Structure formats: structure tokens, C-alpha cells
Structure 1
Amino acid sequence: MRRFAFTTGNGQTLPLFVETVGIADERSKIVRTEGYPYFHWLQTIRGEGLFTVNGATFALPVHSGVLVYAGTPHQYEPAPEGWETAYLTFGGPSVPDMLLTLKLQEGVPVRWDADAPLNGLLQEMLDRLEKDQDLFGLNASADAYRFLIVLRQYGRFDNRTDIVRGSERLRPLLDWLERHYADSEIGLAEMAETLGVPASTMNLWFHHTFGLSPYAYLVQLRLRKAKELLIRSADATVKQIAERVGFRDASHFVATFRRKTGIPPQQFRKLYK
């Protein structure tokens, strides 16, 4: 049995849009050497499957799933007793930031309790898409965001303890950056001094906890603050916002914002106007 629903193309103008939602009875091995063009979530409804991504192979029994980023090679296959799955594919310029903020990591098996609401969310989402004509993809986008929030709330990640421990070690610096991100003179030396460890140690802690460098974390923080100002401070110019969040010049801010989100600041502001 296979059920699936595609959303309309109009939804792809949203910060987060859904490509498709579905339920499938997996019968053969799937190999994607170039990955899938959208972010891909796959979870088990019945039976079990084997999933391979980033050089690791693991089982996906009932009450478990995995998230794969767009373009990441992967493969999966059903166990002999059969495998029924639910899946969600989605994209959008705001998705990378959302996943980073929610700490939803790629290629890490996620498990949850039998009574967690994750079990039926995709089926409910599919039912609504099959029943209602979602012309602009707004309902599907809202459902997908809600799913990601619930996944973060109820999902158990194999390395969650390490992530929590790492964030605790970095907490003094993270709090300091929240107060000083607008200072364009901040560099690795100041960050390491605030944390009280060598820069090499700080780099290791950041990569292990967040999967990115300390400076990349600072850039993400500045962009998040910029998004808040673009929405909240309607009279502020892009140049003023760039200065307020720590960018030395507006052109660098615009280029960085566009590279990270897929759209320029002014277009982002219009989306939320």
C-alpha cells in the first residue's frame, strides 16, 4: 500500500514548504547516490528497516526515524518481515536555521516512547492534505513546523547526553555572545578568553555540540537577531540593522544573509510584513 500527497507549487515561496507526505510499504532496497533534492524524514510504522547514511548503518524499528538533509547520499531496505514507513519531504530558505535551532541532526536515529504523539502526526497530516485543497501550502507548512517541534520535544537522540554536556561547558560563552554579538570586533581570541580555554579546545567543543565552528555560531546568532529586527523594526534600514547585529558593512550583511537563507533581507521582511 502506498499513499502520498504533493502540495501545490505555490507553497515553495514559504520559508518552510512541504513537497510531499506519504505512507509506503517498502518492498525493495532504495539507493540514492546523490541524495534527495529536499530534506527527508523517514519513520517506521510497522516492521523494521536498515538505513545507511554518512557511513553508518542502523536499524529503524517501530517508534523510530531519521532525518536526512537535501543532497546527502543514503540508502535503506526492508527487513525480511516487512517494513511500513511514513515520510515527509520539505524545503525552504528557513529550514537550515530551524533545524539548527531545534538541534535536529542529520543521520542520527531518533527514538520515542510508544505513547508519544509522533506516531500519528504524519498520517493525520496526510489525511488533511487528501481531504482539503491547500492552494498555497500554508496548512501543510504549519503542520510540518509543528511536526519538527514535536520531534524535538519527544525524540530521543543517541548522543543527546553529550550534546547537553557540551552546551553546559559552552554556556558562559553562549551567554556572553547573547550580550555582545553586536560588537563587530569579536574574534576567536576574545571568545576563547571568555571561555577560559585554548581556541583549539573551544573549536572542538563547538563542533561536537553544534556541528559548526565558534565563528559560524556567532554568524548564525547575528542572523537570527537580524531576522527579529527585520520583522519588529519596520522603520530600520538594512544598513542600520547590519550595524546593530555586528556586521561591519551592509553589503557583507546582505551577502551573508542571502547565502545562509536563500533570500535577501528585504525579501525576508516582505514575507513577514
Structure 2
Amino acid sequence: MSAKAMRRFVFSPSGSAGLPISVESLGYNPVQEQITRPDGYPRYHWIQTEEGEGILNYANEMVKLTEGMGILLPPGLPHSYEASPAGIWRTYYLTFGGEAAAHIISSFGVQTSTPYRLDSDSPFVPLLSHMLARLDTDTDMFGLDTSTDAYRFLGLLSKYGQISQTSASRNIERLIPVLKWMEKSFRDSDVGLDDLAEIAQMSGRQLSKLFQRAFGLSPYAYFVQMRIHKAKELLASRSELTVAAIAEHTGFRDPSHFVATFRKNTGMTPQQFRKMHS
């Protein structure tokens, strides 16, 4: 049985601002506790089983993460996970964001919300352990070296990870053209369901059903969460931008609508969020 103790590194948000990939946290948990996130997590979240078995619920699916399996959850995807009743669950995890994170994930062909099975002989499996071991002796307060490691992490996942298909991942695969289009078009406040359905080449009703199955959200609600996520990145990293400018940049029709939607989704105003992360 593993005797490794829990380790966790959290990086300075101000120091990592502007990096293509900004790592928020990196850790090892020898006794993974139960987690429930009805609104998802605000950044990309990788969780990987080192030993034992965990049960992950997302997008109306239940997935068992056994030893050598991991999954990359996108920002805002409602989910929960816990150890299997059979015993303990030891995990590695990595959370990250950054201005180019979505583009890098797409360019490597890494799929989110899709379980990966990892060959124990591949260099990917010990990667997070090696990253933690280096951080034990090297402060890297601003996360610069860790950002480089995260880029390598995605490259190795693309090369050595074997996709374990589920019905949820097949649904998401059908939505990839729409998700990529959303990523490019979130600034346009005039986008509607008809536009998304046209990109997906299906009816608005079919698209809504597919989003509900994959994410538990309507297409519009998913798009709003994406815009809120983009707004959070700008609030934390671009102090020169006014709230009104960020509202316009992220596709909200006016500042008052932006403030009301941001408060509804986060429980605080944009100004309060910026103060907390400045």
C-alpha cells in the first residue's frame, strides 16, 4: 500500500497571468474525498487514479476511474466523484487555465470529458509525480516551469493516452464543431440557437437534447458559462479593462446584463471578483 502523504501546490494567479497555460494547482491525494460540483469547476481539471478506483458522474454518465485512468474535465461541466465502495482511491490532479489553454488542447487533439486509459510503461504515467517531486525542492512561485510542464503533459496525453469511449464522450464528439465555433464567436452578442444549430447541421431541438445529454445544460446556458469563464480570465489578468469593456469583449449586450448574469453565476459582482483575484 502506498505511504505517500498528501501534497498540494497552489500557484500565484498574478504571477501566472498572461501565460499560455497557467497552472492553478497540482497535487496528490492519498485519500480522495467525495466532491460535488453542480456548477462545475472554473478551470480545466485533470484527475488521474494512482491506486484504487473512483466513480465519476458527469453528463448523465457514471464512469469508473481505475488505476491508470484519467479524465480532463472542461470548465463549467457539472460533476461529482468519490471513491468506490470497494476501498480507497488515491489520485493525482492538475487544474489550469490560461489564454491559450483551449487552443493548445484542441491543437493536440486532446478530448475533454472523455476517459483516457494510460499504458503503465508510458512516460505519461509518472509525469505528475515527477512534477510534484521537482516542486518539493524548487519553489517556482510563479508557475513558469510548471506551465511548461503542463504543455508537455498535454502533448504526452495526446501521444500515449488511449480514449475509452462512453456514450457521453460520443455525444461530445458530435458537438466538437459547435464547441470550437463557440470558442471563436463568444464575443458576438447576436449569436442564437439557430446559429449554433446551423453549425451543428441539426435542428435546434436535436442540438438542445445533445447538449443536455453531454453537459446537463442547454446550448445557451453552456455558452453563458463559457462567456463568464472568459470574463473571469480578463478580470483577473487585465486590470486596465473596465467592467463595461469586458462585458462587450465577452458578448454581453450591456454592462448591467453582464453584472446581473455574473452575479447569478458566481454569487459576486465582477468588481468583487476582480478585487479578490487582484
TM-score normalised by structure 1 residue count = 0.60
In the superposition, relative to structure 1, how do residues 8 and 189 fare at CA in structure 2: closer, same or farther (>3 Å)?
closer
Gaps of 5+ in 2: 17-21
Percent of paired sites with the same residue: 27
Cα distance in 2, alignment partners of residues 8 and 165 from structure 1: 33
SS of residue matched to 1:219: helix
SS of residue matched to 2:245: helix
Task: Assess if the C-alpha contact under 8 Å between 1:86 and 1:123 holds in 2.
Answer: no
Cα distance in 2, alignment partners of residues 133 and 216 from structure 1: 40
Task: Assess if the C-alpha contact under 8 Å between 1:35 and 1:72 holds in 2.
Answer: yes
* Structure having the higher Rg: 1
Match for residue 74 of structure 1 among 78, 82, 94: 82
Task: Assess if the C-alpha contact under 8 Å between 1:65 and 1:109 holds in 2.
Answer: yes
Cα distance in 2, alignment partners of residues 191 and 209 from structure 1: 16
Shift of 1:176: 5.9
Aligned CA RMSD, in angstroms, stands at 5.1
In the superposition, relative to structure 1, how do residues 60 and 126 fare at CA in structure 2: closer, same or farther (>3 Å)?
same
The residue identity in structure 1 corresponding to 2:220 is Y
- What do residues 72-117 of structure 1 show as CA deviations (whole Å, max 9, x unaligned)? 34123778xxx9x86334568x59x969x76432xx6420234533
Task: Assess if the C-alpha contact under 8 Å between 1:21 and 1:88 holds in 2.
Answer: yes
In the superposition, relative to structure 1, how do residues 10 and 86 fare at CA in structure 2: closer, same or farther (>3 Å)?
same
SS of residue matched to 1:2: coil
Q: Which residue pairs with 1:117 in the alignment?
A: 123
SS of residue matched to 1:204: helix
Task: Assess if the C-alpha contact under 8 Å between 1:11 and 1:18 holds in 2.
Answer: no
In the superposition, relative to structure 1, how do residues 42 and 179 fare at CA in structure 2: closer, same or farther (>3 Å)?
closer
Cα distance in 2, alignment partners of residues 150 and 56 from structure 1: 27
Q: Which residue pairs with 2:164 in the alignment?
A: 158
Cα distance in 2, alignment partners of residues 70 and 174 from structure 1: 17
Cα distance in 2, alignment partners of residues 166 and 121 from structure 1: 31
Q: How does 1:1-273 map to 2 (within 5 A)?
A: 1-4=2-5, 6-7=7-8, 11=12, 16-18=23-25, 20-21=27-28, 32=33, 41-44=47-50, 49-54=52-57, 56=62, 58=64, 60-61=66-67, 63-65=68-70, 72-76=80-84, 87-89=91-93, 94=97, 103-105=111-113, 109-133=115-139, 136=141, 138=143, 142=147, 145-146=150-151, 149-150=154-155, 152-153=157-158, 154-159=160-165, 162=170, 165-167=173-175, 171=177, 173=178, 177=182, 181-192=186-197, 195=200, 197-208=202-213, 212-223=217-228, 236-257=241-262, 259=265, 264=270
In the superposition, relative to structure 1, how do residues 248 and 148 fare at CA in structure 2: closer, same or farther (>3 Å)?
farther
Task: Assess if the C-alpha contact under 8 Å between 1:5 and 1:129 holds in 2.
Answer: no
Aligned residues: 249
In the superposition, relative to structure 1, how do residues 43 and 179 fare at CA in structure 2: closer, same or farther (>3 Å)?
closer
- What do residues 106-152 of structure 1 show as CA deviations (whole Å, max 9, x unaligned)? xx642023453311112212321332345x47368637744762475
The residue identity in structure 2 corresponding to 1:110 is Y
The residue identity in structure 2 corresponding to 1:201 is Q
Cα distance in 2, alignment partners of residues 12 and 178 from structure 1: 23
Q: Which residue pairs with 1:27 in the alignment?
A: none
TM-score normalised by structure 2 residue count = 0.60
